[in-house]
């Protein structure tokens, strides 16, 4: 592994961290239904001239895969994005970034359930540690209030969004569709654009304002296309396992950008709760010893 191979996936994580802040900024400028629809419409139109003809040429092979592509698109582009944009109305970008850092841990847990993989020491103890850290974070350092009043709506929605994306990641691995990554991305987008359009119409077709245009442009090109390209470069050079660990940088970048550009202030519970949550995620990724083996020794 050459250090320069780290640059592409780190750039991808940074782009996605900025997009989390964009999601928060968009909450006051553009309706979630509008940015969700126009973002993926833009991405789909940008990819179409480059890969549309190749996909059409393989339509006989692609047709049986459409149901799975639709499910993937619903999880990764409809549920995750729509929930995240809605969550941004009632929570901070800092919270969103820290909660999104749970995606690798949630993927490990779902892999145990859906793929039948053995539970690992890291998944169990890291999961418990992350839950404790998340409870401390979401309660602003007072876990008793979380039990009494529950989490803020936006935090709960972001957690649901992260669970949807973790499920997306697990199914993507389980199904291992025989498609080039770019072709899969293009097909997922066009499979769910009708759903996003119906959602957009159901919200009375909110207008795309001039102030919202740069946010849609960023979400539609850098976040949807450039980030995916850089991430695929990382997987190709480093392998999926090493590349996945770099997602731990997501909350770090998100918090830094939110503090610099949104003026969000870090409190002690951010450092403590976020740090414990991230430590749990790291343990889940590195402690791979099966739990059953630990019990028998």
Among 228, 253, 251, which residue's Cα sits nearest to residue 158? 251
Residue ranges, the chain, pLDDT below 50: 294-297
Q: List the chain domain ranges.
A: 3-296
CB neighbours of 223 closer than 8 A, spacing ≥ 6? 15, 16, 18, 19, 22, 39
Residue 120 phi/psi, 5° resolution?
A: -105, 165
pLDDT at 27: 85
Longest CA–CA separation in the chain, Å: 64
Please list, residue by residue across 134-165, b when 16 or more beta carbons sit within 10 angstroms of its beta carbon and e when fewer do: bbbbbbeeeeeebeeeebbebbbbbbbbbbbb
The pLDDT tens digits for 118-150 are 777 777 788 788 888 888 887 877 777 766 666
pLDDT at 150: 66
């Amino acid at each position: 592994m050459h250090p320069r191979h780290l640059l592409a996936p780190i750039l991808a994580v940074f782009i996605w961290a900025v997009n989390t802040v964009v999601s928060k900024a968009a909450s006051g400028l553009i309706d979630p239904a509008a940015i969700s629809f126009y973002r993926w419409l833009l991405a789909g139109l940008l990819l179409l001239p480059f890969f549309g003809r190749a996909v059409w040429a393989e339509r006989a092979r692609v047709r049986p895969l459409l149901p799975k592509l639709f499910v993937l698109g619903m999880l990764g582009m409809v549920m995750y994005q729509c929930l995240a944009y809605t969550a941004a109305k009632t929570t901070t970008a800092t919270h969103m970034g820290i909660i999104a850092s749970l995606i690798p841990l949630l993927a490990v847990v779902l892999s145990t359930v859906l793929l039948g993989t053995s539970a690992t020491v890291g998944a169990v103890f890291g999961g418990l540690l992350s839950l404790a850290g998340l409870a401390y974070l979401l309660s602003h350092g007072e876990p008793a209030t979380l039990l009494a009043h529950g989490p803020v709506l936006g935090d709960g929605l972001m957690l649901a969004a992260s669970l949807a994306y973790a499920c997306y990641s697990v199914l993507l691995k389980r199904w291992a569709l025989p498609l080039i990554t770019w072709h899969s991305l293009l097909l997922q987008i066009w499979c769910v654009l009708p759903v996003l359009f119906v959602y957009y119409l159901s919200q009375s077709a909110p207008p795309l304002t001039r102030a919202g245009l740069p946010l849609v442009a960023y979400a539609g090109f850098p976040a949807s296309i450039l980030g995916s390209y850089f991430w695929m470069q990382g997987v190709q050079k480093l392998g999926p396992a090493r590349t996945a660990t770099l997602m731990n940088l997501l909350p770090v970048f998100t918090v830094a950008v939110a503090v610099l550009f949104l003026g969000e202030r870090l409190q002690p519970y951010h450092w403590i709760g976020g740090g414990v949550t991230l430590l749990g995620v790291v343990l889940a990724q590195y402690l791979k010893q099966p739990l059953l083996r630990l019990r028998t020794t």
